[in-house]
Copies of this chain bind each other. A is one copy, B any other.
Amino acid sequence: MSNHPAVASKSALNPRNFALANCLRALAIDAVEAAKSGHPGAPMGMADAATVLFRNHLKFDASAPNWPDRDRFVLSNGHASMLLYGLLHLTGYEDMTIEQVRNFRQWGSITAGHPEYGHATGIETTTGPLGQGIATAVGMAIAERQLAAEFGDELVDHNTYVFLGDGCLQEGIGQEAISLAGHLGLGKLVVLYDDNQITIDGPTSISFSENVPARFEACGWHVQSCDGHDAHQLDSAIRAAKARTDKPSMIAMRTVIGFGAPTKAGTASAHGAPLGDQEAASAKEALGWTAAPFVIPSELLAEWRSIGARGRAARQDWEKRLAAVPVDTRAEFERRQAGALPSGYGEALRKSRASLFAEPKKAATRKASQMAIETLVPALPELVGGSADLTHSNLTRVKLIDTQFTRDIAGRYIGFGVREFGMAAALNGIGLHGGLIPYGGTFLVFSDYARNAIRLAALMRLGTIFVMTHDSIGLGEDGPTHQPIEHLASLRAIPGLTVLRPADTIETLEAWDIAIRNRRTPSLLALSRQDVPQLRLEAGDENLTAKGAYVLRQFGSGRDVTLIATGTEVSIAVEAAEVLAKDGLAVAVVSMPSWELFDAQPVAYRADVLGQAPRIAIEAAGKFGWTRYVASEDEVIGMNGFGASAPADRLYKEFGITKEAIVERARNLAKA
């Protein structure tokens, strides 16, 4: 089959697996050459392992990519995307045609440079930003266990497999995921580590010399090592990994990056650039590959297609089991998979609203958030939550979401530890898995740590709910390191994320309602540490927060000035407006819990709310971005720099976010 000594020695180990793997290598070589960019080395190095996994182990049916009980496959080193596209094409996923593979990295194709969730079936999550794939997979494994506990093994019993490289292990989030998975004993999580000892900058020895297996062992993992080109070793290791159900498993596969490329294999030059005509040709020769570019010999393609159909019987058996469970169970399972809300949800919401109007409450919006969860969760068995070690501050725990998720109990409350980034990615993974609605809490300032996972939620159009409390200098004494200033602006800047900063108990309930209904958009709730009065007092069923902004109070008729505020500053604006009204000014107070939702309203509505009079914005945060609604940043009562350490009241006063400051500015504007 091959005369190249390194290749020959490996190909002899299991010629059939090797031949199948060469289909993946050839497609990776061809697609990267055609695109004139991409990463051939990792697909070529991991092809043997991927073949063993898909051929012998992965439970899937290419004709039913969304089968809920399929094994999940996550390519955490997303730059190896051609490995995934090759697998999907070869096993027969309908949308992954050879044309798509030919159009790798081109406008309009489903074969982006990195795998993009939603572009093609079989892409379980978007990867590329390193370390997030494994952290997302941890969420999938958590979801699997929670749903298995709820619906039984006969409906939910699958593994989550992750391929990853050195980069995922160097990134801190990789360790957060490893530590959490080991702690929770996620025995159905199997990680295959592509130990090729090469990174972009050269040999990993430039920057990475730790004992990776020992690190995993220290974190409670079942660890094996094997030759990543030896199908028998790989098969045995995966088998042993599946058998070990009390611990997650890691298989360190010693591989050669760019396996088969005569001069570039095992070097950084195989990592992130096309091999080039000559090396590509030589590699194919060494591999014994004679087919034309993008052509898979029919006999090999047929075998790959049979691999794609290998799980069909299992899937059909599963469908029979689903059909056999009690009709209620089945209906609930299917509702949950579809992401539809339960019939009782609307009623729970109405009751919760009614009780707030019946008995208005002064409360911090983080407390209002806890009240909202508490009243909605009886109707929402799919809601699961947690916090990055700030449960008592975020108030993310409620009676029905109280049982801690541990290695023994698949509880609904997950203690993520001090791992904001890992938490956010895991929440995404829970959502991607399906069947559950995940939320998780930390301080708003630490959204920084989790930021790229919030971005990926938006990019993937996931309904992840981020509960971010202590949302301003109102946090007080902990000081500037803990006080968000630029965070609201920087989150509003993320396309496709809905940022909600509710003003009181009603708006907080409404924000939760929006977040729960938004199954294709992530929501981030910015909530206060400090108490605010309930400002909405007139009972009604309309979710005004869903309009993004609305006139909360109108003093006098017409408009001399409009005060726009968010969150805890709305009540200060109302107080200022009362003073201005006594001056005889006509003032509208606009509560604006969400810029994104407001900007999605019809032009006429927006014009009506904003009015023609001079406007002042009030928000205890940086002023950046407010010129979308006010004439200049001079018309923003907000922060010009970082906060300070002192009691909250003092900070509001010292930083000039006060009724008096609003009144003064409004009088000057109204005069002008």
A residues adjacent to B (C-beta < 8 A): 35, 37-38, 78-79, 105-109, 111-114, 116, 126-131, 166-167, 170-176, 179-180, 182-183, 199-201, 206-212, 214-215, 217-220, 387, 389-393, 404, 415-422, 445-446, 448-449, 451-452, 455-456, 458-459, 476-482, 485-486, 489-490, 492-496, 622, 624-625, 627-628, 632-633, 639-642, 644-647, 650-651, 654
Contact = CB atoms under 8 A, between A and B. Distances in A.
Given A129-B481, A170-B176, A415 B116 contact: no
A582 B482 CA distance: 54
B114 A207 contact: no
A490 B207 CA distance: 30
19 contacts: A35-B477, A106-B646, A106-B650, A107-B654, A113-B478, A167-B389, A170-B389, A171-B420, A183-B207, A199-B417, A200-B389, A201-B391, A207-B415, A207-B417, A215-B218, A215-B219, A449-B451, A455-B486, A496-B642
A495 B655 CA distance: 15
B493 A481 contact: no
B167 A200 contact: no
A111 B622 CA distance: 24
Nearest to A406: B206
A247 to B, nearest CB: 11
Nearest to A407: B209
Contacts of A212: 218
Given A172-B176, A418-B170, A486 B482 contact: no
Contact of A107 (B78, B415, B646): B646
A151 to B, nearest CB: 26
A37 B389 contact: no
Contact of A112 (B79, B215, B415, B479): B479
Contacts of A171: 172, 176, 418-420, 449
B421 A128 contact: no
Contacts of A479: 105, 112-114, 116, 128
Contacts of A199: 389, 417-418
Contact of A183 (B209, B458, B482): B209
A130 B215 CA distance: 21
Contacts of A206: 404, 415, 417
A625 B489 contact: yes
Nearest to A646: B107
A175 B178 CA distance: 11
